[in-house]
């Protein structure tokens, strides 16, 4: 669970296979970088549904445009550039601005749905995935991602539904498409999926151990003595003692932590969960939290903590 060479094909090799139309390898590429992408989205948007939406947007854009990637060696940088633009789109949307260009260095040409999909190397998979969506989600996703209507207001008018319904349908459609895409990853590289699962099991057990007497030291020993601890967008403080003090205070107050979802890839893991405060102190901790762990040499060297005023709404991956 530390710094090591990637298992299986390189990122560039996965990009070449995906560019040639192999959806399973695109799924593996995105699965490999899902946790770091989500960590980057959290840094920009904070903990909440917008960060996950930005990652799903990145997945959909990769589906649409991986065939146009000119330099496979640059695929990771390309994914993070797309993510950054998706995050900026989320920030603009907070200010009620319309999301426009999503893909770096590419003009926005919007032909018909059929022509758009015909240019996608993964068009057969995309069509099959769209057909599996319920009709309301299918229509909304096709208009938004493969049609000529970037505005939620336009989609609402076309579909004769409120803007809020458009948002919820798009969010659900993106989630389902992302799940189908990631499921293909296990078809081509079960070893990589197993490694990810092992990280998930490790952190689930480690964080649940905080609720059991005598396991606090095991939790703290995973973090390096010179741990860089970052809360939200603040400046880092150095030293494991800072996280140790917080753990001790929470334990003494009777706060429990329940992991809800864990994403892990290579040296990055994201642990989402909720704090359960004791009845006598219901506001000791905010209900929602996301920990982003960066590892090296089997130790957590950097930890970002994102707090939320509401617990996560998590579906099984």
Decide if 5 is inside a domain: no
What SS3 state is found at 104?
Answer: coil
Res. 122 pLDDT band, cuts 50 70 90:
low
pLDDT at residue 99 tops 50 = no
∠ CA 123-128-133, nearest 5°, is 125
Answer for the pair 274, 286: CB distance below 8 angstroms, yes or no. no
pLDDT at residue 195 tops 80 = no
Decide if 313 is inside a domain: no
Q: Which of 124, 157, 188 is the last residue of a domain?
A: 188
Decide if 314 is inside a domain: no
What is the pLDDT, as a whole number, of residue 97?
46
Most confident of 7-16, 73-82, 155-164, 307-316: 73-82
pLDDT over 70 percentage in the chain:
81
Q: Which of 143, 160, 188 is the last residue of a domain?
A: 188
Q: Are residues 224 and 146 in the same domain?
A: no
Mean pLDDT of 49-53: 87
Each residue's pLDDT tens digit, 211-245: 887 888 899 999 999 999 988 767 889 999 999 99
Kindly report the backbone phi and psi dihedral angles of residue 104, in degrees, each rounded to the nearest multiple of 5, phi listed first: -65, 140
Q: Are residues 57 and 158 in the same domain?
A: yes
What is the pLDDT, as a whole number, of residue 106?
44
Range of the domain at 241: 190-308
Nearest to 50 by CA among 99, 8, 1: 99
Each residue's pLDDT tens digit, 145-185: 766 666 788 888 888 889 889 989 988 988 888 888 888 77
Q: Are residues 211 and 174 in the same domain?
A: no
Answer for the pair 106, 135: CB distance below 8 angstroms, yes or no. no
Each residue's pLDDT tens digit, 135-147: 888 888 888 876 6
Decide if 317 is inside a domain: no
Helix H segments across the chain? 11-19, 23-45, 49-65, 75-94, 113-118, 123-132, 135-146, 152-159, 163-183, 185-188, 190-208, 216-221, 240-253
Res. 129 pLDDT band, cuts 50 70 90:
confident
What is the pLDDT, as a whole number, of residue 100?
42
Q: Are residues 151 and 218 in the same domain?
A: no
Mean pLDDT of 262-278: 85
Q: Are residues 104 and 213 in the same domain?
A: no
Distances (CA, A) of 13 to 63, 76, 113, 178: 17, 12, 30, 21
Most confident of 4-18, 87-101, 115-129, 165-179: 165-179
What is the pLDDT, as a whole number, of residue 48?
78
Nearest to 232 by CA among 142, 176, 133, 307: 307
Decide if 173 is inside a domain: yes
Handedness of CA 151, 157, 159, 160 (dihedral sign): positive
**pTM for the complete prediction?**
0.76
Answer for the pair 1, 198: CB distance below 8 angstroms, yes or no. yes
Q: Are residues 21 and 145 in the same domain?
A: yes
> How many structural domains compose the chain?
2
pLDDT at residue 119 tops 80 = no
Which residue carries 């040499």 as its tokens?
297
Residue 221, judged by CB atoms within 10 A of its CB (0-12, 13-18, 19+), counts as exposed
Q: What span, in angstroms and rounded, lies between the C-alpha atoms of 170 and 176?
A: 10
Q: Are residues 241 and 270 in the same domain?
A: yes
Angle separating helix axes 163-183 and 123-132, nearest 10 degrees: 120
What is the pLDDT, as a whole number, of residue 231?
84
Q: Are residues 41 and 157 in the same domain?
A: yes
Decide if 2 is inside a domain: no
What is the pLDDT, as a whole number, of residue 7?
57
Contacts of 156 (CB under 8 A, 6+ apart): 162, 163, 165, 166
Tokens of 192: 């990589």
Average pLDDT, the chain: 81
Q: Which of 158, 188, 218 is the last residue of a domain?
A: 188
**Position with higher pLDDT, 235 vs 71:** 71
């Amino acid at each position: 669970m530390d710094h090591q060479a990637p298992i299986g094909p390189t990122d560039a090799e996965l990009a070449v296979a995906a560019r040639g139309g192999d959806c399973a390898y695109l799924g593996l590429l995105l699965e490999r970088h899902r946790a770091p992408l989500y960590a980057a989205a959290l840094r920009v948007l904070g903990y909440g549904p917008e960060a996950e939406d930005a990652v799903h947007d990145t997945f959909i854009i990769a589906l649409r445009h991986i065939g146009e990637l000119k330099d496979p060696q640059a695929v990771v940088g390309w994914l993070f550039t797309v993510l950054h633009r998706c995050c900026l789109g989320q920030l603009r949307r907070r200010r009620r601005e319309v999301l426009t260009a999503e893909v770096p260095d590419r003009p926005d040409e919007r032909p018909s749905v059929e022509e758009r999909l015909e240019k996608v190397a993964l068009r057969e998979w995309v069509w099959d995935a769209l057909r599996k969506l319920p009709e309301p989600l299918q229509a909304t996703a096709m208009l938004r991602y493969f049609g000529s209507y970037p505005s939620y207001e336009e989609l609402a008018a076309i579909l004769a539904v409120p803007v809020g319904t458009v948002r919820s349908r798009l969010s659900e459609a993106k989630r389902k498409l992302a799940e189908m895409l990631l499921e293909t990853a296990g078809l081509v590289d079960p070893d990589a999926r197993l490694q990810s699962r092992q990280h998930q099991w490790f952190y689930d057990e480690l964080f649940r151990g905080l609720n059991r007497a005598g396991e606090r030291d095991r939790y703290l020993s995973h973090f390096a003595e010179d741990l860089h601890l970052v809360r939200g967008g603040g400046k880092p403080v150095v030293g494991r003692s800072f996280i140790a003090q917080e753990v001790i205070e929470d334990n003494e107050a009777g706060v429990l932590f329940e992991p809800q979802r864990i994403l892990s890839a290579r040296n990055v893991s994201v642990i989402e969960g909720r704090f359960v405060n004791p009845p006598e102190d219901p506001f000791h901790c905010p209900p929602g939290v996301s920990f982003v762990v960066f590892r090296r040499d089997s130790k957590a060297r950097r930890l970002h903590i994102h707090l939320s005023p509401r617990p996560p709404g998590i579906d099984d991956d």
